[in-house]
Amino acid sequence: MARKKEDEVYNELDVKKNASNVSDGMLRFNRVSPLNNVLYSLLFILIALICVLPVIFVIIISFTAESSIGLYGYSFFPKQLSTSAYSYVWNMRSLVGRSFVNSIGITLVGTVLGVILTSTMGYALSRRTYKLRGFFTYFIFIPMLFHGGVLSSYVVNTQLLGLKDTYLILILPMACSSFYIIIMRTFFTTTVPDEMIESGKIDGASQLRIFVQLVLPICLPAIATIALFLTFAYWNEWYLASIYISSKRADLFPLQYVLVSIEQKIQFLINNASNIGADAQDVPSETMRMAIVVIAVIPIMFSYPFFQKYYISGLTVGAVKG
C-alpha cells in the first residue's frame, strides 16, 4: 500500500515536472529578444505610417489654396492655406446635409437588413437536414456567374416593383448578396458543430432560439465582417441613385451622389471657363476633390473601431468542449 502511494507521488511529480518543462519551453519559444522587439516595432510603425500618411496628405491638400497647388504642386507643407473648398460645400449645406442624413439612414437600415438576410439564409443552407439545401445553393450561386443586366433590372424595379424614387431602391438591391451568403454558409458549416445544434433540440429550443442564442455568439467575427462590407458598400453607393432617383426628388439623394455631382459641375466649369467668361483658376478643382474625399471617408472611418470590438470578442465566446 505504501509502495503504491510512493509511486503515485512520483508520477504526480513527474507530471508536474513535464508540465513545467513544457511551460518553460513555450516561454522560451515565445520570447522575443530586445533587438527583434525594436525591429518589429519599427516595422509596425512604418506600416501604420504608410496607412495614415495618405489620409493626412489628403486633408492637408483640401486646406491648400488652389493657386498654391498650381504653382508649387502638392506638398505636406503648403505655401498658402485656404478653406475655399469647404466654403464651396458649405454654400450647399442644405443639400449636402440632407444627403448626409439620407446616407446614414440608408447605411444603417441596409446593413442591419443585409446582415439578417445573409446570416439566416447562410445558416439554413448550412444545415444538412434541410431538404432544399442543394436547390437553393445553386439558385443563389447562379447570380454570381450571370447577371440579368441593367435594363432588365430597371424594368423589374420600376415597372414591376414600383421602387423608383423611393428609399427602398437604394436599400433592397444590395441587401442580399450571393457572395456574402456563400461566405456565411461556409462559415456556419465549418464552425458550428452539429453536436451543439442537437443539444439545443434536445433541450426543446426552436430553430430561431438555437440560431440566436447558440449560433450567433460564436459567429460574430463572420457577421461583423459582412456588416463591415455592407456598411462600406451602402455608404459609397451612388450608381443606384443616378439611375432610379430623378432630379425632382433631390431629397432622396445620398451623400456620395451629391458629392459626385458637385465634382462633375466643377469639372464642367473648368472645361467651359472661357465660354462662360470665368477664370478656371478661381474654381477650387483639386482642393475640392480632396475635400470631397475627406467628407466621404472620415465618417465611415469611425465605424471600423465599432466592428473591431466584435472581431475580438467573437473569438473568445461560444467555445464548445467535447
Q: Is residue 76 part of a domain?
A: no
Domain of 217, in residue numbers: 93-314
Write the CA distances from 206 to 27, 129, 172, 211, integer angstroms.
46, 15, 29, 9
Q: What is the mean pLDDT of each successive set of 10 residues along the chain, which is 322 residues long?
A: 50 52 53 77 88 86 81 81 82 84 91 92 85 83 78 86 89 88 86 81 82 83 85 89 86 86 76 59 71 79 68 44 42
Q: Is residue 276 part of a domain?
A: yes
Q: Is residue 232 part of a domain?
A: yes
Q: Is residue 219 part of a domain?
A: yes
Q: Is residue 64 part of a domain?
A: no
Q: Is residue 19 part of a domain?
A: no
Q: What's the pLDDT score for residue 116?
A: 92
CATH number at residue 222: 1.10.3720.10
Query: In angstroms, rounded to a whole number, what is the distance separating the alpha carbons of residues 58 and 140?
Result: 40
Grid coordinates belonging to 188: 456556419
Dihedral sign of CA atoms 3, 5, 11, 13 in order: negative
Chain length of the chain: 322
Query: How many structural domains comprise the chain?
Result: 1
- Per residue in 160-198, pLDDT tens? 888 888 999 999 988 888 888 888 888 888 888 878 888
Residue 204, sorted as left (phi over 0), alpha (psi -120 to 50) or beta, turns out to be: left
Q: What's the pLDDT score for residue 322?
A: 41
Q: What's the pLDDT score for residue 234?
A: 92
Q: What's the pLDDT score for residue 309?
A: 63
User: 285-301 vs 255-271: helix axis angle to the nearest 10?
Assistant: 170
Q: What's the pLDDT score for residue 321?
A: 43
Q: Provide the β-strand partners of residue 81.
A: 64
Q: What is the pTM of this model?
A: 0.75
DSSP-derived 3-state class of residue 8: helix
Task: Spell out the residues 6+ positions from residue 76 whose beta carbon is closer than 8 angstroms to its own.
Answer: 56, 57, 60
Q: What's the pLDDT score for residue 141?
A: 82
Q: Is residue 182 part of a domain?
A: yes
Q: What's the pLDDT score for residue 314?
A: 43
Four-point Cα dihedral 61, 64, 67, 72, nearest 10: -60
